[in-house]
Structure 1
């Protein structure tokens, strides 16, 4: 299960021939994201387990999951944008049903990220899943 935005992203990745083009595209996605206001760069929104600094600000509206995020590393900003395409707009009850490793695997990210970046990506996914699960139970 993936959002239409993620399906569009997966189609774009399918047309990019090599990892360097995909890597540049991920960075461009990060550059296109609106910055997170400094008032939200607080310990409660910081994601542990990432080599770089990462903040995710969840927002639940009308039972749907949304978030803003930022990182001090360009590739990680791009990964946040990829996760945004994967999760934003989903009903909170559906967020936990997304098979993030499989969906991200469609982009070829698993083979090309360092172990630190992979661990950070998993930490971001886990934060998203926990936040949505808590909102679904509220």
Structure 2
């Protein structure tokens, strides 16, 4: 398994300090506010991820062989989940990306129990979309 980046490690520490779901939910909303929005021109059908209940757009690039990831949605709590996913995946090489265990990541954050099946499936759809963007 790939070791989390310093930013992802700091995120883990912030979530570990939370005492229950309410604090984690507030922290997710805070992280969601940090997620940069895509412009209307970037919200294309080609970037729309199928498999999510709420519309999610993804722009993945690989400058210098490392993932540069932009995600966007209008759903507030989902914005936070996408931002913690973006923090975990950004900067990884294609090989490192393939080693990420999303279920374990959300479990480490203390969020796994609060994720509905449809939300987990949606986050996995985002991950699969990014995996398909990997350079050959």
TM-score (norm: length of structure 2): 0.93
Give 1:43 shift. Answer: 1.0
Alignment-derived partner of residue 71 in structure 1: 73
Instruction: Report the 3-state secondary structure (helix = DSSP H, G, I; strand = E; otherwise coil) of the residue aligned with 2:54.
Output: coil
Q: What residue in structure 1 maps to residue 55 of structure 2?
A: 53
Alignment partner, residue 94 of structure 1 = 96
Give the Cα–Cα distance (whole angstroms) in 2 for the partners of residues 85 and 20 of structure 1.
21
1:27 counterpart SS class: helix
Which of 29, 32, 46 aligns to 1:30? It is 32
Structure 1 residue ranges without an equivalent (≥5)? none
Moved over 3 A (4+): none
Residue 106 of structure 1: aligned partner: 108
Equivalenced residues, count: 134
CA distance in 2, matches of 1:104, 1:96: 16
Specify the SS of the correspondent of 2:62: strand
Contact 2:16–2:110 (8 Å) recurs in 1: no
Aligned-partner Cα distance in 1 for 2:75–2:112? 18
What root-mean-square deviation, in Å, do the aligned CA atoms of Structure 1 and Structure 2 show? Answer: 1.1
More moved, 47-56 vs 86-95: 86-95
Name the counterpart of 1:62.
64
**Deviation at residue 47 of structure 1 after TM alignment:** 0.7
Distance (whole Å) between structure 2 residues aligned to residue 128 and residue 57 of structure 1:
9
